[in-house]
A and B are shown apart, each in its own frame.
Chain A
Amino acid sequence: MSDAIVRRFLEHAPAVDAWTLRLVRERGRRIAVRQDVLEPTVSHDGQGAMVSVSLGDGWGYAATCDLSASGLSAAGQQAARWARVSRDAAVAPALPPSRLRGGYNSPVVQAWSAVGLAELSDRLRGWCARMAGDRRISDRQAVLDCRENETRIVTSLGGDMGQRTSLVLPWLAATASQGSESQTRSFGRDAGRQGGLEQLLALEVDSVPERLADEAVQLLLAPDCPSGRRDIVALPSQMVLQIHETIGHPLELDRILGDERNFAGTSFVTPEMFGTYRYGSELLNIRNDPQLPGEIASFAYDDEGTPATREYLIRQGILLRGLGGALSQARSHLPGTASTRASSWNRPAIDRMANLNLEAGDATLEQLIAGIGDGLLLDTNRSWSVDDSRNKFQFGCEFARRISDGRLSGVVKNANYRGISSSFWRSLTGVGSSVQVAGTPNCGKGEPNQIIHVGHASPACRFSDVDVFGGG
């Protein structure tokens, strides 16, 4: 199919300095069971194309789902028109397109598309039913979002790269209510994986439902989180957000270059900080890893056609490299990563996180907790807010337990904490040895807006002297 589309495009390729055709086919199915009732299951299957062209210093694009010869030809002409408009007013000259040829397929053991809807929905019904054990549970949901994306990039310089990724994203939630108080416990906001249904086993989703319902009820009865400065241990389900918002976004080169200032914001990180800035304690090692099996944003090439490689962004606490592709690297004269990505065929590629991981240390969870006199264990992000520069942050967690004299004690609700990104990571005093591979589907950025999936693998981490507080 894509060969025929490429041939049609080649017959009508625009007369420009260079062009790139990016074809994307997206298939998927979302199955949801709420309160034991199967919600309408909508499958999707669609293919679209983005044609981007350069003319002198100008660059333009046109995206269409009309893949006929006339549709592709019109897209080429529209892209050329925008390239002409931007020729004398471009922020930076376009780079030549990629010449590379190659491919990538995410490993899949059990394809979701090979399993019938009835079987999948039965599995979800089972999970949903198992959250119904207490009369205070007022809402229960079990959701499975399955996706398969195929991308092919063909360029006027002979580049031809095809990639196919399969994703599974489970989500379970139980809400407990009593009077005018309610608490929700969930699993999966960050559990997206690349692969097939075998990832549900790897994630041990089957062990989750009763625990969620039980913990939601525990929260309903729990006291509020105490206020004050305390040591915390953040589990991987919270570390995902901490890494994402206070390391990932600040290191995006397009933020540093100012592209995002009208929407997603800028960064407290400035160009002169690379190579010398102490971002965190010596325990902090952050790597862009496009090759970790099962992690949601693994790929061989980014959407500029640059080969993806493993790179340290922060090593032993020192900032080394930003997140951003070839164009941003050329504009900023800073080292980056092959992570220029588009959310779909209808959006141009911009600098994104891909798999951004915090490397393991040598402490067990018990050892991380053991050193704390009066602290908190934080589990599962539920609230996030951070300033324009990704510096002043406040995060909230679904579930928390107090740590007293090196041991876990009672559950507390509405646990929040706040800090300053530029100094927060220097209070990292312990890194766990067991890494959990996580992935979120909902990273929003860009004008026009784009939502994309990103991966974060992390162990539990301990931070000292953090400003924590509860609700009310």
Chain B
Amino acid sequence: MTRAQADFSALADGLCRVLEPGEHLMLSYSGEESDFVRLNHARIRQAGRVAQQSVVLDLIADGRHASAQRLLGGDPALDLLQLSEVLVQLRRERSGLDPDPHLLLCEASQGSVRQDEDRLPDSAAAVQTLIACAQGLDLVGLWCAGGIQRGFASSFGQRSWHSVHTFHASWSCHLQGDRATAGRYAGTTFEPAELTRRLAATRAACTALARQPAAILPGRYRAFLAPAAVQELVGMLCWGGFSLKAHRTGTTPLLRLGSLEARLHQAVTMSEDRSQGLAPSFTATGFPLPERVPLVDGGRLAGLLVGPRSAREFALPLNAGEESPESLVMAGGELDQAEILEHLGTGLWISNLWYCNFSDANACRITGMTRFACWWVEGGVIQAPLPVMRFDDSIYELFGERLLGITSQREHLLSTSTYGGRTLDGMLLPGVLVDGLTLTM
């Protein structure tokens, strides 16, 4: 047991000892120690370390509850003292509230523990490798690495802990204006040679960007969307697309899929699959999560994510925490990645999409931009870089009747989001070949 895990467990024990009869306590923990090194022009722009840990306390009695979030300083005695005072405040606050009709309490005492080994490199050494490999390139990016912990404890006796150590290097290399190519390397085991290999690939792509960009007019083009581009589209579906509450309240972009008015191509199958990811197997309120929840099967909506409050409100079994996928997996298809250019023939190779948003959520119509080394292809041969273009198209078309094929190879894409803290989300995605992507400007 690590010190952080032991301290959290002891904190929970101490707080549970001061509960009054009839009270229950839920304690959710989040912590990280992260190195962040920001680069520009292959030099260091900002470098530092962030250590943070916080807990959310939920005090419950008679169906009434009140919650508070506090940072932890790391001194077990002082943290216990601070949180004991918070408990008193919550007790006072709770008594003035009505019972919560959507409260679902996890009364299980059985917890789970995942404690991965720390196999991360020294961040300074990794950054020096990155800089050395990028000599001569106008490289911009971020290195982040460190431990991430999630924990849950309750007065029912549950003690769950999840600790992983991840790194993430994300970079782009710029030739001129917005002509750029991007790369990334993320995981739990770092190999300097793999970083070097990926940077060499970026360098090669950057060289190809020097060609005169293609003159592309707005219109509809046959296109291959690489996994990173598919991630942006599927990411939009995570904005309520698989949420039970969003479907029941009409706020989902997949309303027509849910009502059977529309369907996706029968080759499209998606699931929330925790066996493939780094996300914890328990929710912030202590519920154990199923390893796999089918979401789309053969183009039809196969299931929805049901969080604890929705489970109570809509009387369905819980299978998720926040009703947004954390480890989304899309099934691979028949296309061989090595033969994509041949299959594409003439059209667009879209490496990345960016800044997507809905043009019309009811039609699941999404707009966004191409970004980072997209190419114009003719006769199965890359001809020229694509200038930055806007697309505007419906998922029902792109993943529906215009879907020509899905690659058998898939890419595991860890989330690069670091708002507030690092996340453990990720997606396992293939590339897709479509018979038309509509460019508007």
By a beta-carbon cutoff of 8 Å, the part of chain A in contact with chain B is 37-48, 52, 59-68, 71, 78-79, 81-83, 85-86, 89-91, 116-118, 121, 138-139, 175-177, 179-182, 184, 257-263, 266, 344, 346-348, 350, 383-389, 392, 394, 396, 414, 416, 418, 420, 444, 447-451, 470-472
Contacts and interface: CB of A to CB of B under 8 A. Distances in A.
A63 B358 contact: no
Nearest to B354: A388
Contacts of A45: 68-70
Nearest to B74: A66
A31 B174 CA distance: 45
Interface string B298-326: 00000000000100000000000000000
Contact of A63 (B48, B356, B361): B48
Interface in B394-441: 417-422, 440-441
A361 B170 CA distance: 45
Interface string B32-48: 00101110110111111
B251 A139 contact: yes
B231 to A, nearest CB: 15
Contact of B52 (A44, A59, A65, A179): A65
A416 B369 CA distance: 16
Contacts of B66: 40-41
B422 to A, nearest CB: 8
Contacts of A344: 420
B72 A65 contact: yes
Given A65-B52, A179-B259, A262 B141 contact: yes
Contact of A258 (B40, B74, B356, B357): B40
B40 A259 contact: yes
B114 interface: no
B256 A180 contact: yes
B142 A447 contact: yes
A259 B45 contact: yes
Contacts of A118: 96-97
Interface residues of B, number: 93
13 contacts: A37-B100, A37-B101, A44-B70, A63-B50, A86-B44, A181-B255, A182-B361, A346-B50, A385-B355, A385-B357, A392-B369, A447-B418, A450-B419
A389 to B, nearest CB: 5
Interface of B: 34, 36-38, 40-41, 43-54, 56, 58, 65-75, 78, 93, 96-98, 100-103, 124, 127-128, 131, 138, 140-142, 144, 170-172, 174, 177-178, 180, 182, 248-251, 255-256, 258-259, 261, 309, 354-363, 365, 367-369, 371, 388, 390, 392, 417-422, 440-441
Contact of B418 (A38, A139, A449, A471): A449
A258 B419 contact: no
A116 B67 contact: no
Contacts of B103: 40
Given A65-B52, A396-B357, A139 B249 contact: yes
A190 B262 CA distance: 34
B171 to A, nearest CB: 6
